[in-house]
A and B are shown apart, each in its own frame.
Chain A
Amino acid sequence: MNTKRHLLMLVGILILIGMWIFFYKVKILDLPLSPYGVSQVWTIESKIDFDATTGRSAKVEFFIPPTQAHFHRLDENFVSRNYGVTTDLAVDNRLSIWTIRHAPKTSQTLYYRAQFYFDEAFQGPNLSNRGITGRYLYTGAERAAQQTIISNARQQSVDSLSFATNVVKNLNNPDDGNAAILLNRDYSNANIAITAAKLLKGPTVEEGPNIISRLVYGFTLSETEVALQDIPLQIYLGIYDTEHGWRYIDPNSARVGLPPYFLIWRYGDQTPILGVEGGRNEQLTFSAIKREVNTLNVAQEEALQDHSILMTYSLFNLPIHTQEVYQVLIMVPLGALIILLLRSFVGIRTFGTFMPVLIALAFRKTHLLDGIILFTLIVSLGLTVRFYLEQLKLLLIPRLSAVLSTVIILMILLSLFSNQLDFQTGLSVALFPMVILTMIIERMSIVWEERNAWEAILQGIGSLFAAAIAYLAMSNLYMEHLFFVFPELLLVIIAIMLLLGCYHGYRLSELIRFRELIKKHDI
Chain B
Amino acid sequence: MTFKSTLLSVLERILAPLLSPILTYLALKKMGILGMNQRNAEFIAQYNPRKFYPLVDDKLLTKNLAIKASIAVPELYAVIEIEHQVVHLEKMIAPYSSFVIKPAQGSGGDGIVVIVGRRGPNYKRSDGILMHADELKHHVSNILSGMYSLGGHPDKAMVEYRVEFDPLFREISYQGVPDIRVIVFKGYPVMSMVRLPTRLSSGKANLHQGAVGVGVNITNGETHFGVWQNHVVEHHTDTGNPISGLQIPDWERLLTISASCYELTGLGYIGVDLVLDRDKGPLMLELNARPGLAIQIANRTGLAPRLALIKKRCAQQKESIQSRVAFVQKTFVHQPLW
Q: Which residues of A contact B (CB under 8 A)?
A: 344, 347, 393, 395-397, 446, 450-452, 455, 501, 503-508, 510-511, 513-518, 520-521, 523
Q: Is the CB of A507 within 8 A of B28?
A: no
Contact among B145, B152, B231 for A516, CB-based, below 8 A: B231
Given the interface pairs A344-B37, A506-B37, A521-B338, the reply to whether A397 lies near B145 with Cβ below 8 Å is: yes
- In whole angstroms, what is the CA distance A344 to B108 when docked? 22
Q: Is the CB of A396 within 8 A of B232?
A: no
Residues of A within 8 A of B296 (CB): 514, 517
Kindly state whether residue B271 has any CB partner on chain A within 8 Å. Answer: no
Kindly state whether residue B337 has any CB partner on chain A within 8 Å. Answer: yes
- In whole angstroms, what is the CA distance A516 to B297 when docked? 8
Known: A504-B41, A511-B25. 15 other contacts (CB 8 A): A395-B141, A396-B147, A450-B209, A504-B37, A507-B37, A510-B28, A510-B35, A510-B36, A510-B293, A513-B230, A515-B24, A517-B296, A520-B337, A520-B338, A521-B337
- In whole angstroms, what is the CA distance A468 to B200 when docked? 32
Given the interface pairs A510-B36, A517-B28, the reply to whether A393 lies near B297 with Cβ below 8 Å is: no
- In whole angstroms, what is the CA distance A513 to B25 when docked? 12
- In whole angstroms, what is the CA distance A143 to B36 when docked? 97
Contact among B37, B209, B293 for A505, CB-based, below 8 A: B37
- In whole angstroms, what is the CA distance A330 to B323 when docked? 56
Residues of B within 8 A of A452 (CB): 200, 209-210
Q: Which residues of B contact A (CB under 8 A)?
A: 21, 24-25, 27-29, 31, 33, 35-38, 41-42, 108, 110, 138, 141-142, 145-147, 152, 200, 208-210, 230-232, 293, 296-297, 300, 337-338
Residues of A within 8 A of B210 (CB): 452
Contact among B38, B146, B297 for A396, CB-based, below 8 A: B146
Residues of B within 8 A of A507 (CB): 35-37
Q: Is the CB of A504 within 8 A of B42?
A: yes
Binding site of A, secondary structure by majority: helix, strand, loop or mixed?
Answer: helix
* Nearest opposing residue in chain B for A442, CB measure: B152
- In whole angstroms, what is the CA distance A347 to B232 when docked? 22
- In whole angstroms, what is the CA distance A510 to B36 when docked? 8
Q: Is the CB of A521 within 8 A of B146?
A: no
Q: State how many angstroms separate the Cβ of B280 from the closest Cβ of chain A.
A: 29
- In whole angstroms, what is the CA distance A395 to B145 when docked? 6
Q: Is the CB of A503 within 8 A of B33?
A: no
Residues of A within 8 A of B41 (CB): 501, 504
Q: Is the CB of A518 within 8 A of B24?
A: yes
Residues of B within 8 A of A393 (CB): 138
Residues of B within 8 A of A514 (CB): 28, 33, 296-297
- In whole angstroms, what is the CA distance A516 to B232 when docked? 7
Contact among A451, A513, A515, A517 for B300, CB-based, below 8 A: A517
Q: State how many angstroms separate the Cβ of A4 from the closest Cβ of chain B.
A: 12
Residues of B within 8 A of A520 (CB): 232, 300, 337-338
- In whole angstroms, what is the CA distance A408 to B336 when docked? 55
Q: Is the CB of A511 within 8 A of B37?
A: no
Given the interface pairs A504-B42, A506-B35, the reply to whether A451 lies near B208 with Cβ below 8 Å is: yes
Q: Is the CB of B36 within 8 A of A347?
A: yes
Q: List 10 A-B contacts (CB under 8 A).
A: A396-B145, A446-B147, A450-B110, A452-B200, A504-B37, A504-B38, A511-B25, A516-B297, A518-B28, A521-B337
* Nearest opposing residue in chain B for A518, CB measure: B27
Q: Is the CB of A517 within 8 A of B37?
A: no
- In whole angstroms, what is the CA distance A38 to B225 when docked? 69
Q: State how many angstroms separate the Cβ of A455 from the closest Cβ of chain B.
A: 8
Contact among B33, B110, B145, B209 for A517, CB-based, below 8 A: B33
- In whole angstroms, what is the CA distance A514 to B28 when docked? 8
Residues of A within 8 A of B146 (CB): 396
Q: Is the CB of B24 within 8 A of A511?
A: yes
Residues of A within 8 A of B24 (CB): 511, 515, 518
Residues of B within 8 A of A521 (CB): 27, 31, 337-338
Q: Is the CB of A504 within 8 A of B232?
A: no
- In whole angstroms, what is the CA distance A411 to B228 when docked? 42
- In whole angstroms, what is the CA distance A455 to B110 when docked? 15
* Nearest opposing residue in chain A for B337, CB measure: A521
Contact among A503, A513, A517 for B31, CB-based, below 8 A: A517
* Nearest opposing residue in chain B for A455, CB measure: B208
Question: Which 10 A/B pairs are nearest by Cβ-Cβ distance?
Answer: A506-B35, A396-B145, A504-B38, A395-B145, A511-B24, A450-B110, A393-B138, A518-B27, A504-B41, A504-B37
Q: State how many angstroms separate the Cβ of A279 from the closest Cβ of chain B.
A: 82
* Nearest opposing residue in chain B for A509, CB measure: B36
Q: Is the CB of A505 within 8 A of B38?
A: yes
Residues of A within 8 A of B232 (CB): 516, 520
